[in-house]
Amino acid sequence: MPAGSREVVLRALAHEPTERIPIDFGGTSVTGIHASVVAALRDYYGLEKRPVKVHEPYQMLAIIEDDLQRAMGIDVESVFARKTMFGFLPEHWKPWRFNGLEVLVPGQFNTTTDENGDTLIYPQGDTSAAPSGRMPKGGFFFDAIIRQQPIDEDKLNPEDNLEEFAPIADEDVARIADLARAARATGRAVIGTFGGTALGDIALVPAPGLKNPKGIRDVAEWYMSTHSRRDYIHYVFSHQCDIALSNLEKIHHAVGDLVDAVFTCGTDFGTQKSTFCSLAVFRELYFPYYKRVNDWIHRNTTWKIFKHSCGSVERFIDSFIECGFDILNPVQCSAAGMDPRHLKERYGDRIVFWGGGVDTQKVLPFGTREEVRRQVLERCETFALNGGFVFNTIHNIQAQTPVRNIVAMIDAVHEFSGAAALSGKA
Amino acid sequence: MSDGSQLYDAILNGDNVRAGAIARELLDGGEDPLALVTRHMVPAMDEVGRRFECEEYFVPELLLAARAMKAALQHIRPLLAAGGVEPAGRVVIGTVKGDLHEIGKNLVSAMLEGGGFEVTDLGADVSPERFIEAAGAKKADIVCLSALLTVTMPAMKTTIDAFRNAGIRERVKILIGGAPVTQQYAEEIGADGYGENASTAVALARRMLNPVHA
């Protein structure tokens, strides 16, 4: 582990200059690495040969264990609490093969193969329920299977969209506390993902962890509902926040400041060119609930709050800041209006950019090593000035990304940090 | 008694129940189905596209309008077919092999239908063979390929290559779109065009079939 990992991250989060750039991979489910790439990186760095553990089966992200964290110089540790997207705990590991790779998956990761060769996965591991996720034959991760029951407008009940939000069990709180203690002991900064605070995250709307989801579960239907059933959505968000705040209070009581940051919401508001709704709708439908949760966290904890939103969200950043988010991820610089220099200049002293380090749609998967290095150095130069930057790619590193490019990326961050340390500039 | 402008409004406002009811009422009252499409529905979807382009409308409004348009079309389409009315063009559309994401593709599909095209939607995770088979069976003028993922984008090239290898590449225009896709990528893999969003896809499709007047 690099010396003073946690301190470097905390200084970056406090917008103070750092002697080197802190790095996250694996801290959250949006800053991770696909299992196949984690395995390839282990090989590249000559680490002990053993199957990687898929702790996030939806996107097939693997745990980046301590030896690989050290090899890459990672400064952030995760606390993934409670259950996976498919409603089971990441424990009781068992072997599983896909695309010729042997990995370890949770004991309740139960799958079948359909007539097309697609892999189907089941909520809570229950193969007597309808499958809730599908990985196409030869694919790399799962997508939710939409299980929308017919909608009778007169009988729609927003309580049905609250089934997945429940008071946290004491054993889950205890588990989070254990994980947080272990994470803190690594000396890295700790980011927690406790669940229950994401407002209408489209990956969660189909409820792949529930056996028989009711309410609005179809993705398009949900998007339309944000316009046509506004009261219903307000009800869901409002009651979801009530439950979340009660849970956060219990979690905070158990972990206190063992956790440095918390990933609360991954709802995407940006497309490549625009936003999913107007700023006015954002402020009416989402802002009040974000503010309520964020205000509680800031009043009662020392946690910094991490917001993930892909796409072109520049016009929302002032509102993100105003409602209390401290950190923005993944900083999709290729999207409209997301020019790194503009973002840093306009917002860099008020929000931390956790991401944006390299493009994962083109440069990292398809570029040359030199193109990767050049973009990483440029991004570090732009984002790291006066702190406020944690290096991460723009979203998870995807399957089939060449390891040589990932190594070029990591080396470039260290190259920048080394040069900056020598010049006293970072 | 409803009139065509109310159908236009119902689509523009994304009211599928009203759009379907008005279309039915107008048809029962003797309105010409093709005139409903060309005078009211295509202009409504053009206006939806315009509002989307200038960011008065966003994805939810686009989805609602598309659904309203489909509700009206389900009454109109059988009459058009029975009357032998030719569509603006025939399109086969799908998300490429290995990719399960459909929202963007569904929007393009709906906007093309709203633009007067006959659209055969093959869904998601569509193999090159299924695209080729459907393009032949439906006598498609245009094949639209969608991908959301960086890792499935190469399946667009595989699909285009399959059309070439089957000797039918020149019979169809192949258009591509999706989050990681760019004009440059379209050129690299030999596609005929790239649509940045559902609205521009309609203009692109029209231009493909009528290059002089577009």
From the CA of A35, how many Å to the nearest CA of chain B?
14
B54 → chain A, closest CA residue: A274
Rounded CA Rg of chain B: 17
Nearest-CA neighbor of B68 among B120, B114, B106, B119? B114
Euclidean distance between CA atoms A184 and A416, whole angstroms? 27
In a 13 Å sphere around the CA of A415, the CA atoms on its Cβ side amount to 15
Q: Is the pTM of this model over 0.90?
A: yes
Euclidean distance between CA atoms B95 and B127, whole angstroms? 9
Candidates B15, B103, B146, B151, partner chain A, best to mutate (most A CBs within 10 A):
B151
**B chain contacts of residue A138, beta-carbon cutoff 8 Å:** 98
Q: How far apart are the first and last CA of chain A?
A: 20
The three-class DSSP label of residue A119 is: strand
Asked whether the beta carbons of residue A223 and residue B14 sit closer than 8 angstroms, the reply is no
Tell me the per-residue pLDDT of A203-240, one tens digit each, with 9 for 90 and over: 999 999 999 999 999 999 999 999 999 999 999 999 99
From the CA of B175, how many Å to the nearest CA of chain A?
18
Give, for all 426 residues of chain A, the pLDDT tens digit. Answer: 555 999 999 999 999 999 999 999 999 999 999 999 999 999 999 999 999 999 999 999 999 999 999 999 999 999 997 799 999 999 999 999 998 999 999 999 999 999 999 999 999 999 999 999 999 998 999 999 999 999 999 999 999 999 999 999 999 999 999 999 999 999 999 999 999 999 999 999 999 999 999 999 999 999 999 999 999 999 999 999 999 999 999 999 999 999 999 999 999 999 988 999 999 999 999 999 999 999 999 999 999 999 999 999 999 999 999 999 999 999 999 999 999 999 999 999 999 999 999 999 899 999 999 999 999 999 999 999 999 999 999 999 999 999 999 999 999 999 999 876 655 444
Asked whether the beta carbons of residue A276 and residue B101 sit closer than 8 angstroms, the reply is no
- Residue A119 has phi, psi (to 5 degrees) of -95, 130
Whether residue B197 is predicted with pLDDT greater than 90 in this model: the reply is no
B56 → chain A, closest CA residue: A278
Q: At which residue do the structure tokens 């020598």 appear?
A: A422
From the CA of B98, how many Å to the nearest CA of chain A?
5
Asked whether the beta carbons of residue B63 and residue A360 sit closer than 8 angstroms, the reply is no
Tell me the per-residue pLDDT of A315-333, one tens digit each, with 9 for 90 and over: 999 999 999 999 999 999 9
DSSP designation for A274: S
Asked whether the beta carbons of residue A136 and residue B59 sit closer than 8 angstroms, the reply is no
Tell me the per-residue pLDDT of B70-103, one tens digit each, with 9 for 90 and over: 999 999 989 988 988 889 999 999 999 988 888 8
Structure tokens at A199: 């407002």
Asked whether the beta carbons of residue A226 and residue B60 sit closer than 8 angstroms, the reply is yes
**B chain contacts of residue A398, beta-carbon cutoff 8 Å:** 149-151
pLDDT of residue A420: 64
Euclidean distance between CA atoms A341 and B161, whole angstroms? 40
Asked whether the beta carbons of residue A224 and residue B14 sit closer than 8 angstroms, the reply is yes
H-type alpha helices, A256-402? 279-281, 287-300, 317-322, 340-347, 363-366, 369-383
